[in-house]
């Protein structure tokens, strides 16, 4: 019987070896191929890896609804994609954008970590980490709504005046 042979793989340090092999397989399958922080990609990642369905439904706080958070995330990903792949942006990117989206990304990470922690608590009976207070960033439509221009504009380095990626 195959199970009688396989069970011996768990003996001694065998269980640790199998756990490490599983971790590597999960990393290759889900994390190394993860390229975009889009809602459906994030939701699918957490569903497949730990069974948490629709993590993105937790992306809300007192000054931002889930649809507003999604709008901000999509705008951020559009701007990032423009800069990384084309060296142009559909709208100017300012220092204020960078400041706003930095706080937004931190808030989204905190909300997500807290939601995952609560999910694991419900499964295991204890929190894997402390629940973190959120930054409570307000939704600002001027940052989170793409301002499409007829043609993408190259970014200009304010110091040299040359076209370049500022990030």
pLDDT digits (tens, 9 = 90+) for 30-89: 777 776 778 888 898 899 889 999 999 999 888 888 989 988 888 888 888 777 777 777
- pLDDT tens track for 117-138: 999 999 999 999 999 987 777 8
Long-range contacts of 38-42 (CB under 8 A, 24+ apart): 38/73, 38/74, 38/77, 39/70, 39/73, 39/74, 42/112
Question: Directed axis angle between helix 66-81 and helix 39-50, to 10°?
Answer: 110
Helix (H) / strand (E) containing 88: strand 88-89
∠ at Cα 137 (71, 112), nearest 5°? 70
pTM check: above 0.75: no
């Amino acid at each position: 019987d195959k199970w009688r042979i396989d069970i011996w793989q768990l003996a001694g340090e065998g269980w640790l070896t199998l756990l490490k092999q599983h971790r590597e397989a999960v990393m290759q399958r889900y994390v190394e191929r993860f390229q975009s922080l889009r809602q459906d990609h994030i939701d699918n990642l957490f569903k497949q890896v730990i069974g948490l369905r629709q993590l993105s439904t937790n992306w809300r706080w007192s000054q931002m609804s889930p649809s507003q958070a999604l709008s901000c995330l999509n705008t951020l990903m559009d701007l990032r994609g423009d800069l990384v792949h084309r060296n142009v942006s559909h709208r100017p990117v300012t220092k204020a954008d960078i400041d706003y989206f930095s706080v937004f990304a931190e808030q989204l990470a905190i909300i997500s970590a807290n939601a995952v922690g609560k999910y694991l608590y419900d499964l295991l009976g204890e929190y894997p980490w402390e629940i973190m207070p959120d930054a409570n960033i307000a939704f600002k439509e001027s940052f989170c709504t793409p301002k499409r221009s007829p043609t993408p504009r190259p970014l200009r380095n304010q110091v040299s005046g040359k076209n370049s990626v500022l990030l």
